[in-house]
């Protein structure tokens, strides 16, 4: 009797958990969104935009990848910073693969070295992703940078990409699937994230705030959803934007409340696009002094502990 033909390895279903890490602002959240194909993580040109780990699931006929986006690796000693570092450490436990994201348009610095240290400690296979190549005029300049990282760590692959433009993402997706072990799908095909809608909405509001504020305001802002009512095809949300000082409240309100209004409109449109129904957003700005140092407040902010 002839032995039965083995399924070809390419067709074997593969799955796994893949953490995305790197120093702040390298484009980790943009990369997560691009790989999953849906905007799940908010993006801003500010360090520490991402405050918790965010999961995004990408499913194909032959593979399912659960990506975990993390806050940028940084030093800083406030309570919220320590919480962010804790969530990064958790995201490194028991991972099948790591994506170490480097901003290819900048010289590597101390923060990159710190992030690489965590990759080494995690001990999982890692792919080096050189992001923002759209900003690198002469692509030959990438080679010495890639060589440098090749010598610093035994990466399984080194892949140049532009998360913003989509360049190199197919190569990266193939490399990821190739490195994952055979395994079943953990989630239904249409499952995209573990974040509840309330959290997605609060994050979208926060993103619109980050886009219009500068200096100390972004770090001082937190958003809580206080009321959530579904009325047929309309979802009515009341949310509070917490700031630390009256001056920051004035900045957010703008003249005659214009700035807050524009934040609200932009956030509403994006909520409607992401969640596919109509929203009414009522936004309030409140001064909550020292929220960044309050354990109780930080616990309330984290939907995982809700
Ligand atoms: N030019 C360019 N900018 C990018 C790319 N990826 C991300 N960015 C920008 O870099 C900034 C930080 O992105 P974000 O995803 O929030 O970075 P994170 O802090 O690592 O999560 C944002 O302004 C992004 O629009 C890219 O491929 N090319
Ligand atoms: Mg981020």
Q: Where are the domains of the chain?
A: 11-179, 197-305
Ligand 1: lining residues by beta carbon, under 6 Å:
24-30, 43-45, 49-50, 72, 131-132, 134-135, 162-164
Overall CATH class of domain 197-305: alpha beta
Model confidence at 296: pLDDT above 90: no
Q: What are phi and psi of 185, to 5 degrees?
A: -75, 135
Number of H-type helices and E-type strands within the chain: 10, 9
261 CA to centre of own chain: 26
**For the chain, what's the residue count?**
306
Res 137: pLDDT: 94
- Continuous H helices in the chain: 28-36, 79-92, 110-122, 142-152, 169-179, 197-212, 217-220, 246-253, 258-275, 295-301
Cα of 20 vs centre of ligand 2, distance in Å, is: 10
Res 305: pLDDT: 61
Mean pLDDT over 201-221 rounds to 89
Higher pLDDT among residues 65 and 86, named by residue = 65
Name, in order, each residue with C-beta under 8 angstroms of 128's C-beta and a sequence gap of 6 or more: 100, 102, 146, 149, 150, 153, 155, 157, 158, 159
Cα of 40 vs centre of ligand 1, distance in Å, is: 14
In sequence order, the β-bridge partners of residue 54 are 69
Q: Is the CATH code 3.30.413.10 the one for domain 11-179?
A: no
Write the pLDDT tens digit of every residue in 232-279: 889 999 999 999 999 999 999 999 999 999 999 999 999 998 888 999
Residue nearest atom 28 in ligand 1 by C-alpha distance: 132
Antiparallel, parallel or unpaired: β 14-21 and 97-103: parallel
Cα of 28 vs centre of ligand 2, distance in Å, is: 5
Distances (CA, A) of 215 to 14, 143, 203, 218, 221: 44, 35, 19, 7, 12
pTM for this entry: 0.83
* Gap between the Cα atoms of 199 and 101, Å rounded: 25
């Amino acid at each position: 009797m002839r032995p039965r033909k083995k399924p070809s390895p390419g067709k074997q279903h593969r799955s796994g958990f893949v953490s995305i890490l790197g120093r702040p602002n390298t484009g980790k959240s943009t990369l997560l969104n691009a790989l999953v194909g849906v905007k799940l993580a908010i993006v801003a040109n500010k360090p520490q935009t991402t405050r918790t780990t965010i999961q995004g699931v990408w499913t194909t006929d032959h593979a399912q990848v659960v990506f975990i986006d993390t806050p940028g690796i940084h030093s800083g000693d406030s309570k919220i910073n320590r919480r962010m570092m804790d969530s990064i450490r958790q995201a490194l436990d028991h991972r099948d693969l790591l994506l170490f994201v480097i901003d290819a348009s900048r010289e590597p610095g101390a923060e990159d070295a710190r992030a690489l240290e965590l990759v080494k400690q995690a001990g999982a296979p890692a792919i080096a992703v050189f992001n923002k190549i759209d900003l690198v005029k002469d692509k030959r300049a990438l080679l010495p940078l890639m060589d440098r990282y090749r010598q610093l760590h035994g990466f399984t692959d080194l892949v140049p990409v532009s998360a913003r433009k989509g360049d190199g993402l197919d190569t990266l997706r193939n490399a990821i699937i190739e490195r994952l072990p055979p395994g079943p799908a953990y989630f239904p095909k249409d499952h995209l994230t573990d974040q509840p809608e309330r959290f997605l909405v609060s994050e979208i509001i926060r993103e619109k705030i980050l886009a219009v504020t500068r200096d100390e305001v972004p770090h001082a802002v937190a958003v809580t959803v206080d009321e959530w009512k579904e009325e047929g095809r309309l979802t009515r949300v009341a949310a509070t934007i917490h700031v630390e000082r009256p001056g920051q409240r004035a900045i957010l309100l703008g003249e005659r409340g214009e700035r807050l209004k524009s934040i609200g409109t932009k956030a509403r449109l994006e909520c409607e696009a992401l969640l596919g129904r109509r929203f009414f957003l009522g936004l309030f700005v409140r001064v909550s002094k020292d929220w960044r140092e309050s354990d109780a407040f930080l616990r309330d902010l984290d939907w995982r502990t809700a």
